[in-house]
Structure 1
Amino acid sequence: MGNICSRSSNQGDPFNQPGRVVGTSSGGTAAPRAPLPAKTNWKATPGRTLGESTADGSTGGTDEARANAAIAAQKRAESASANKGKLGSKLAAQKAQTQAQTLDQVSRTERAARDVDGVEAARRWE
């Protein structure tokens, strides 16, 4: 009954076949490989490690790049503080308030809301 679903054209279990030694070819043709370059000159110039100075003693512009980055960051910070706009100005004013000033402002707002409610109740004859 087990052979009903099986056909003779199905391949058998790959572990039932004889194996091969690791590192040997599988007997078929190997996968195509890209050709190696004709002249390898990578040994002639070993290159530089990071932070290594050049022959004239300079560090290859890393200090100059760092200084340029610092100047650019300073300019961005100055332009951001100069162009706050309406919301930025309001936020700066709010941050500058003391706790007493903030509480006084909240109190005035609440009193104004109560006055509006009182006027509304008087208009309705309550």
Structure 2
Amino acid sequence: MVGWVLRIVVAAALLGSAGVHYFLWTEDYPGIVGPLFLLDAIGGLVIAIAVLAWRHWLPALGAVGFGVLTLGAYVLAATVGFAGNHDQFNSQPEYWGVITEAVCIVGGLALLFVKDRRRVSA
């Protein structure tokens, strides 16, 4: 039961982050940043589906990696700049992105350590 609830939370966080990045993609960011937002939106959707559909450790690891890479890119953009983009932590998409990506990391790590108690009968 705990594993299933955790999967739903992680998938919701992935979809939330994907939604934020899709919204940012529609804002026409210049250079490589715009296509990277679209790639994040697609990646978040695909990993969310995998987390819900595949009871394996790989989707959980994918959620952690997605969260770490996406949050890391944002931290770079908010501090020293990333790919010609320098953000400030002052908008709703930024707040929601940080929250959802943190949940992806923490929830994905927790999911890696939760044992699926279902037994497979032969």
Greater RCO (CA < 8 Å, at least 6 residues apart): 2
The answer to which structure has the higher helix fraction is 2
Both proteins in one fold, TM over 0.5: no
Q: Which has the larger radius of gyration?
A: 1
TM-score normalised over the length of structure 2: 0.23
